[in-house]
Amino acid sequence: EPVGYVHTVAVRLSARRQGLAGELFGHFVEFARRHGCRHVKAITTPANLGSIAFHKSLGMGLLGDANIDGIPVLPDYAGRGAPRVVFWKSI
């Protein structure tokens, strides 16, 4: 089953805090849904607290049992010693 994957959501610094990233993500979710996806996925590093907060605000769940500073991670996701925060959402 196909899964929609968000690689990057980026908004120019001067245009942040206006809801644009959430709007972009919403368009992505609709695109993924139209193309047969039932889930979307995103990945970030444990240090990227802004990204973690953003994805959580979209209702995305975090996968993983291990944690770094209280954040669930998948250890070695991006290679040995490279944990990642993996988000998952049913759409």
- pLDDT, tens digit, 9 for 90 and up, residues 28-47: 999 999 999 999 999 999 99
Enumerate the domain spans of the chain. Answer: 4-90
Chain length of the chain: 91
CATH code of the domain occupying 4-90 = 3.40.630.30
Give the distance from CA 63 to its chain's centroid. Answer: 11
Give the distance from CA 29 to its chain's centroid. Answer: 12
pLDDT tens digits, 41-82: 999 999 999 999 999 999 999 999 889 999 999 999 999 999
pLDDT at 1: 87
d(CA 15, CA 33): 27
Q: Which residue reads 């209280």 in tokens?
A: 70
